[in-house]
Structure 1
Amino acid sequence: MNFQLSPSDLLAPSKAVRSDVLLVLLRDGYEVLPERMAGLPGTIARAMQCGHWSPAAGKRLSLYLPDDAFASRVILLGIGQGKQQDIREALSKAVKELVSEDVRLAVYFAQDATIDQVRTAMLAVGGAGYVYSNTKPSAKGGLKKVVIGAPNANDCRTGFEEGRALLAGMGLAREWANRPANHATPTLLGKVAEEIARSGNEGHGDARFKCELLDEAKVRKLGMGAFLAVAKGSSEPLRFIVLQYHGADRKQAPLAFVGKGITFDSGGISIKPGAGMDEMKFDMSGAASVLGLFEALRHLRPAINVVGLIPACENMPSGEATKPGDVITSMSGQTIEVLNTDAEGRLILCDALTYAERFKPLAVVDIATLTGNCVMALGNLRSGLFSQHDELARAIEQAADESADLCWRMPMDDAYGKGLKSNFADMANIAGRTAGAISAAKFLERYTSAYPWAHLDIAGTAWDEGAAKGATGRPVPLLVRLVLNLAKTPVQFALPAPEGGKATARDTGKTGKPAARKPAAAKGKGAAAGKRG
């Protein structure tokens, strides 16, 4: 989808880009001077004077203009005070009715717009105008070209460029999450990562992007027993994807993101019910969001270092698959009793979190469609945020609010992890049925003592169900905003205090040895896990 930014003036249609459909966004307070009652402004004014339409949020009115006008069809969209939610809802609804038509679309703000409003309008149009066609040749529609206009367009260039980068990142994430598992294998995800790195370096004098793919032999050599235990039930080879972006001095600590890459989750031996199992192709949405983040970085190139880690494999039942009751050894040396093979996401993530230590990161954020329990708690509006590090949590919450890619911080009391006790290993991979999203986060926390860490459970936000089934591209906007914020204003995140020692700090300009991991105590029995693992 090609976007163009244009200075627009509805009072001077000769300067407007001609389109088939023009969507006009008007906020409260829109006025037309008596001497300018001709053309479109006059039509809008008369509609308001007659009480047929107002700029209140959600108000809509279709107009038809003469053939010599700069648009053959005009739709007025009220956006109230111009809040992101009002812009998004107004445009999404209108564009969804147009995507089946081969139209040239223009979206004009009648009044001066802000950077956030321009970016929001682009994301709304891009999201509503997306049509999946990779494995569906019969698919029709999809917008090819969109003009975004505002009287002060030149002042909104930053928001426009960020919008284009976000659309590229979200588009890539949606595309690969939507693809069936046989068209989005771990091998294919590795090739996508290599292409992002290659394209990011192409045409630039310095090689800021780097991609490394680790196969089973290398993963085995690293001792990633938990990752291997999940992957061995499938004939599809695993991949451990390591992406790096160097936008700052290479001595500066990077911000690391770990994405769950289960390209299909059958549940393994603890197999899932058949109904809805097709949606488990979306279980690599965390991985897709990390790939989407790096695609956006390829366009934005901020002054910060970023690492992306993606453990990618399938979770399948077979004669070689891990069985309930098996005890495996993670890369950290901690042993895990696998009570439910459908709680596999945390098993591949824990080895990736241990691997992240070698980068001496500023902080680590993992992203995963981890638990159905989180869907029950938060629905599809907000992702679940879990962290013991207040500074990092606040930075993520700020990024979520600014990007309108919302999250909600959940409790992390130590008591929630007591259910992970096992009589036969350092821990079990599941706890009780209640608070399953929190106990899953407490499991992951045992592998993160070396750095500030946060976990995003996106099981409810990564895709839509029902008639609108498909990936959403979330939380790419949140991740991109977090990176941009930390690139602009470096902050310190407190490291966990070693036993008997004092807490230290790590910021974007400091490095140091990871804090020593605290060994886990011996544990007791768990119960059933949420459906997404």
Structure 2
Amino acid sequence: MNFEIKNNNVLKQKADCLVLPIYQGKIQLDVVQEFEQLSNNLISNLLKKGDFSGKVGETLILFNVPNIATSKVLLVGIGDRKNNVINSVSKISQSVANQLSTLNSKQLSVLMPDLAKTHVYTFVRRFVEEVIYHCYRFDQYQSTKADSIKTEKIVLSITDKTLVTQAELGLTHGSVIAKGVATTRTLANQPSNICNAQYLANSAKQLSKQFSSIKASYYDEKALAKLGMNTYLAVGQGSQNESIMTVMEYHGAKDKTSQPIVLVGKGLTFDSGGISIKPSAGMDEMKYDMCGAATVYGVMQIVAELNLPLNVIGVMAGCENMPGTGAYRPGDILTTLSGQTVEVINTDAEGRLVLCDVLTFVERFKPAAVIDIATLTGACIVALGHHYTGIMGNNDKLIEQLVAASNQADDKAWPLPLDDDFQQQIKSTCADLVNSAGRDGGTITAGCFLSRFTKNYHWAHLDIAGTAWVSGAKKGATGRPVAMLVEYLLQQAH
């Protein structure tokens, strides 16, 4: 599906379907009023009769409207004129996307609502991202495909030509981000018998072929052992699939040696819980325990496609946590790459064992900042539900920047505290740390554990256990928090 920005009169645009934004109340956009004159006050009559109200996200398809060139007209409610339409763009976009299969139209001409110059970039970017998001299908393993959407092109009509430049920038960013989110979702949706650590490494190799600006390298179990990444290796001991850490390097800054931003993604391609095995109900969703790695992959694709003037390094920490004769056990004491020792209390608290070694490993890049992304704790769902990604870290400015980026990208995040009271909970009687401190404050104590390995740089931890995928009839990866991280990188680039 392609998008295009045009500065024109939408009523004269050739298209199969005309999409008109309708406010609640009598006062409408100038073009809508012109439409009213041509159609014998069709919209005002619908509003008077109560057949259409203009509430945000409400839709109504009209056929064979008199004096209108297009065969179909889609009315989309955008709410009260006093409200900021930016706050409603997600719902508006979803409503349009949901109607595409019904409309059966190859080309849509969409009238953009009134937008201030400061808002047009955000509206266009979010509109494009959301429409593509809701048109996404993961059906490569289905013998019978869902009905495909016939829409090939959506033209966004801007009546004020002074807004075209910002609208086109929003379109460029929105299209590339939407593509990256779709890539992340597809990678995360892969079944575990297909997607293992080697699959992640191969995917990075393909990305490096697609973009010459990305260099990919790999660390197999032999290389990880040579480095001394013992806790990482312990997690994968029970699996027949090899643990592999994949590193993607992008040097887009003028100074190729300047400090990079490092992204670390947890890549548990399946998490059975190991010896501390999970309940069977819902265990199929543990293929999503690599959504952190999938996020890093999607972000790196976007960074390369946008040619951002930054140095960015992405690490996918791939492995599989399975029970078996070689599996690590509760009670084991492991020595991390940093030299700190960990008493294993629960083999299902494995993500932090993988990440702690990677967080030590990335010190070699002398990073400006390190952000790890992980489906780390079910406790984060208890704290923040499925709406907010949890954020912790050791640098207030970095946390503030990420929260601001989450708000700008409409990819919500919320900061949680890290302090000495929680640090007390991860003390061990026979090692430096325990890998699990129980239910109370579980998200924060996991963050406290990681913080012990990040003292030499600015660091933030994103717990995406509640936001990376949805369950039930619409089970699948969401692609979060790709948009938030890209917004953060865009702000750093400018």
**Given the alignment of the two structures, is residue 147 of structure 1 paired with residue 147 of structure 2, yes or no?**
no
Alignment partner of 2:71: what SS? Answer: strand
**Offset from partner CA, 1:174-227 (integer Å, 9 cap, x none):** 0011111112111111111111122112xxxxxx22111111111111110011
Matching residue of 1:90: 92
With the length of structure 1 as denominator, give the TM-score of the two structures.
Answer: 0.85
Q: Choose the corresponding residue for 1:252, options 258, 261, 264.
A: 258
Amino acid at match of 2:111: F
Quick one: distance in 1 between partners of 2:156 and 2:134?
A: 18
Matching residue of 1:529: none
Amino acid at match of 2:174: G
**Given the alignment of the two structures, is residue 385 of structure 1 paired with residue 391 of structure 2, yes or no?**
yes
Amino acid at match of 2:228: G
Matching residue of 2:483: 477
Mark the CA change 1:318 to 1:298 in structure 2 (over 3 Å): closer, same or farther.
same
Mean Cα deviation higher: 62-71 or 322-331: 62-71
Quick one: distance in 1 between partners of 2:484 and 2:401?
A: 10
Quick one: distance in 2 between partners of 1:160 and 1:462?
A: 25
Alignment partner of 1:181: what SS? Answer: coil
Matched residue pairs, number?
Answer: 478
Q: Cα distance, 1:36 vs. partner?
A: 6.2
Matching residue of 1:24: 20
Q: Cα distance, 1:135 vs. partner?
A: 1.5
Mark the CA change 1:84 to 1:36 in structure 2 (over 3 Å): closer, same or farther.
closer
5 Å-filtered alignment, 1:113-128, equals 113=115, 114-128=120-134
Mark the CA change 1:197 to 1:383 in structure 2 (over 3 Å): closer, same or farther.
same
Matching residue of 2:355: 349
Quick one: distance in 1 between partners of 2:343 and 2:226?
A: 22
Q: Does the CA contact (< 8 Å) of 1:311 and 1:349 recur in 2?
A: yes
Q: Cα distance, 1:367 vs. partner?
A: 0.4
Alignment partner of 2:73: what SS? Answer: strand
Amino acid at match of 1:90: I
Mean Cα deviation higher: 51-60 or 218-227: 51-60
**Offset from partner CA, 1:52-92 (integer Å, 9 cap, x none):** 43444233332112599554332211223354442212332
Matching residue of 1:218: 223
Matching residue of 2:436: 430
Matching residue of 1:4: 3
Mark the CA change 1:32 to 1:13 in structure 2 (over 3 Å): closer, same or farther.
closer
Matching residue of 1:512: none
Unaligned runs of at least 5 residues, structure 2: none
5 Å-filtered alignment, 1:26-105, equals 26-27=22-23, 29-32=27-30, 37-39=36-38, 43-48=42-47, 52-65=51-64, 70-80=69-79, 81-99=83-101, 103-104=105-106
Amino acid at match of 1:150: S
Q: Cα distance, 1:110 vs. partner?
A: 3.9
Matching residue of 2:175: 164
**Higher share of residues assigned helix:** 2
Quick one: distance in 2 between partners of 1:471 and 1:35?
A: 43
**Offset from partner CA, 1:303-335 (integer Å, 9 cap, x none):** 111011111011001100001111111111111
Quick one: distance in 2 between partners of 1:67 and 1:323?
A: 74
Alignment partner of 2:407: what SS? Answer: helix
Mark the CA change 1:12 to 1:428 in structure 2 (over 3 Å): closer, same or farther.
closer
Q: Does the CA contact (< 8 Å) of 2:375 and 2:463 recur in 1?
A: yes
Quick one: distance in 1 between partners of 2:191 and 2:208?
A: 24
Mark the CA change 1:238 to 1:102 in structure 2 (over 3 Å): closer, same or farther.
farther
Matching residue of 1:513: none
**Offset from partner CA, 1:269-300 (integer Å, 9 cap, x none):** 11100000000000000000000101111221
Matching residue of 1:310: 316
Mark the CA change 1:100 to 1:337 in structure 2 (over 3 Å): closer, same or farther.
farther
Quick one: distance in 1 between partners of 2:103 and 2:325?
A: 50
RMSD across aligned positions (CA): 2.2
Mark the CA change 1:35 to 1:105 in structure 2 (over 3 Å): closer, same or farther.
closer
Q: Cα distance, 1:99 vs. partner?
A: 4.3
Matching residue of 1:523: none
Quick one: distance in 2 between partners of 1:276 and 1:100?
A: 33
With the length of structure 2 as denominator, give the TM-score of the two structures.
Answer: 0.91
Quick one: distance in 2 between partners of 1:112 and 1:299?
A: 31
Unaligned runs of at least 5 residues, structure 1: 202-207, 489-533
Q: Choose the corresponding residue for 2:110, options 92, 108, 120.
A: 108
Q: Cα distance, 1:25 vs. partner?
A: 2.9
Percent of residue pairs bearing the same amino acid type = 37
Matching residue of 1:419: 425
Q: Cα distance, 1:51 vs. partner?
A: 5.3
Amino acid at match of 1:452: H
Mark the CA change 1:130 to 1:101 in structure 2 (over 3 Å): closer, same or farther.
farther
